[in-house]
Structure 1
């Protein structure tokens, strides 16, 4: 505890004065001193009360500020939580949309790949069918097929030779297989109907034609062979398969 030397000295002086005054005036000075003391104490009490009120007011203001800060913090927390929830919802929605878009793109790509594979498979199957067909027809080729080939060949020339006189010298007939006399005679008779008065027939064998015939006269040429026929048919069917769903 600190000693207030001023107060101590003041009390000592008062005490000495009191002794002197008591000696001289006795009660009068005592009463005046007591009144003065009461006024001093009252002033100090008033000052203390005022300080207490100020402290209470300051405490009230501080409490109000603390409450306002707490309320504001709660509001900010709620706003932040709401913003976070909105962000989570929006992010989740975007993620769902991205996943759905990727899934749709993947499905579309898969469908396209499956469709491409299906078309390629159809083409391959078609090619294999025609490859087998060629082999089977080549293996089964006999006189009946050869006679039918002659008829088809003559029909083709008859359809396409309109306006052509056929009197332009010799006629060359090339075949991919040996022609017997009966077949040569059939061709000669058939061409007489198409090109009356045509020149002599020159029969030649050309294995490159396969199961087919070629006629050359002047600057014209007619040809029919199984390989080309199947090629054309194969191309038509493959194009149809490629366009089909």
Structure 2
């Protein structure tokens, strides 16, 4: 078989031309398209990875901020509780102080009213001496008031016990010691002698009696010796009346204070229970 070299060479040349054309018009473009596609896919994958990392970072930031907000919230709540507790204690202390001040003011006012009451009472009692005197005259029968007061005084001298008599008798041993008989009226000579005779029953030595009048006594007569006093007067009735009224007012005040303290304790106990329940 004879080979046609011209044809063979021409076919080779045609084949090379076809390869060149295919490479230029087809292969290079396909490769470029594939490279671009691969690069695009690579870029998309990188972008997705970057997005994932960004999402993770944002999630981490969100968690961090959430924790910070939670911490701030707890701090704000705790601070609010502390401020509320401090304000509560402050208000309680203020209320207690105001109550104590009001109680002190009330006691002061009550004491002032009591003092004014006794002062007015003494004045009114002085104005009612005439009425009291008539009542005393009625109680002491129909004798003259002054004579009857002297008789009552002498009767009290007779009624002294042994120790009281000895005390008065011992005063006469000292010549400088004087027994004073003071009255709201002038004691006549006869009445003075009767009083001296009453003392003479238990005083052996010479008795130095000094008679005085005093406007401070209200329809009465009294003996003063070495700090001891033996008396009968309307003033004594007034003193007893004042003591009784004072005792009654003190009892009433004590009951009021007790009630106030009991109410305060009950209120404080209720507040303590409320605070305990609130804290729970």
Q: CA deviation at 1:153?
A: 6.6
For these two proteins, the number of residue pairs brought into alignment is 219
Change in Cα spacing, 1:94 to 1:28, as seen in structure 2 (3 Å) is same
Pick one of 195, 198, 207 that aligns with 1:190: 198
SS of alignment partner, residue 190 of structure 1: helix
In structure 1, distance between residues paired with 2:90 and 2:208: 80
Change in Cα spacing, 1:138 to 1:210, as seen in structure 2 (3 Å) is farther
In structure 1, distance between residues paired with 2:213 and 2:198: 21
TM-score, normalised on structure 1? Answer: 0.63
Based on CA coordinates, which of the two structures has the bigger radius of gyration? 1
TM-score, normalised on structure 2? Answer: 0.56
CA RMSD of aligned residues (A): 4.4
Residue of structure 1 equivalent to 2:86:
94
- 1:1-41 superposed Cα distances (whole Å, 9 cap, x missing partner): xxxxxxxxxxxxxxxxxxxxxxxx64232223343343333
Unaligned 5+ runs, structure 1: 1-24
Contact 1:214 1:221 in 2 (8 A): no
- 1:60-95 superposed Cα distances (whole Å, 9 cap, x missing partner): 111222233334334433443343333333333332
Contact 2:157 2:199 in 1 (8 A): no
Unaligned 5+ runs, structure 2: 1-15, 134-144, 255-280
Q: CA deviation at 1:152?
A: 4.5
Instruction: Determine which structure has greater relative contact order: mean sequence separation of CA pairs < 8 Å that are 6+ residues apart, divided by chain length.
Output: 1
Confirm or deny that 1:68 pairs with 2:68.
no
SS of alignment partner, residue 198 of structure 1: coil
Q: CA deviation at 1:179?
A: 1.0
Contact 1:172 1:201 in 2 (8 A): yes
Residue of structure 2 equivalent to 1:4:
none
Pick one of 122, 141, 152 that aligns with 1:148: 152
Residue of structure 2 equivalent to 1:161:
168
Q: CA deviation at 1:52?
A: 1.4
Q: CA deviation at 1:56?
A: 0.9
Q: CA deviation at 1:107?
A: 2.4
Residue of structure 1 equivalent to 2:257:
none
In structure 2, distance between residues paired with 1:139 and 1:159: 39
